[in-house]
A and B are shown apart, each in its own frame.
Chain A
């Protein structure tokens, strides 16, 4: 069964450094999302992406965040200058236009630790 994949599984970085989290959504999916979960807290929406542009973003998704779909398969989240509070599990999700609208398929996540 096709699945969303994410790399790396773990990333440790120094505060102020840039990180890029990688996701390969399911191949025929058209809607892409990033969520994050700070340890012990709920999963929070960051951004949705459709037709090569951002559809919606949360207040968390400020100017230090950006997303890109550089080719037909990858979907990346860039954090330009990481802060300690960016430490979290980051989940990528995707959805097919033909599926029930909220059935988003999640990847296994990237655990980001900012020191």
Chain B
């Protein structure tokens, strides 16, 4: 049941350059998408989200793009910093009167090279 897929298990980017993490989904009922960041021995930390009625949301160095027709979203981090090294999870949900569960991808380990 791979409703949310992150096909790149790992990504290495030079410090200062742009990091682009990708995510694909299959469930057309998903109407909200999020990115979480996870450090070892910690729980996932919310990073940025986007509603299906938008195609872009920006928060500081982080921008999420949504392409509904392709069922694809991406997270751009620019400029990348060493502290961005972590596992990034894409997640999605369907509106359910406040009880929305998150469906996660398998994660992409981002390594920022100083």
CB contacts under 8 Å to A, within B72-114, are 89, 91, 93, 95-96, 98-107
Contacts of B101 in A (CB 8 A): 33, 45, 48, 56, 58
Q: Which of A95-115 contact B (CB under 8 A)?
A: 97, 100-109
Among B41, B43, B103, find the residue whose CB has the most chain A CB atoms closer than 10 A. Answer: B43
Given that A42-B107, A101-B32, A102-B93 are contacting pairs, would A108 and B43 also be in contact in the complex, using a CB cutoff of 8 Å?
yes
Q: Which listed residue, A6, A31, A93, A107, touches B98 by the CB 8 Å rule?
A: A31
A4 to B45 CA separation, bound complex (whole angstroms): 11
Q: Give every chain B residue within 8 A of A108 (Cβ-Cβ).
A: 41-43
Q: Which residue of B lies closest to A40 (CB)?
A: B106
Q: How far is the CB of A93 from chain B (nearest CB, A)?
A: 8
Closest to B6 in A: A42
Q: Is the CB of A104 within 8 A of B102?
A: yes
Q: Which of A42, A97, A109 contacts B43 (CB 8 A)?
A: A109
User: Complex: how many Å from CA A109 to CA B41?
Assistant: 8
How far, in whole Å, are A93 and B105 apart by their CA atoms in the complex? 17
CA–CA, A52 to B103, complex, Å? 23
Cα(A106)–Cα(B34), bound, Å: 14
4 tightest A-B CB contacts, nearest first: A106-B43, A55-B99, A43-B104, A45-B101
Known interface pairs A43-B104, A44-B104; 15 further A-B residue pairs with C-beta atoms within 8 A, sorted by A's residue number: A35-B104, A41-B106, A42-B105, A50-B99, A56-B96, A56-B101, A100-B49, A101-B32, A101-B98, A104-B102, A105-B46, A106-B36, A106-B43, A108-B43, A109-B43
The 21 sampled A-B contact pairs (Cβ below 8 Å) are A4-B43, A35-B104, A42-B4, A42-B89, A42-B105, A43-B102, A44-B104, A45-B103, A50-B99, A56-B96, A93-B43, A100-B49, A101-B32, A101-B95, A102-B91, A103-B34, A104-B102, A106-B36, A108-B42, A108-B43, A109-B41
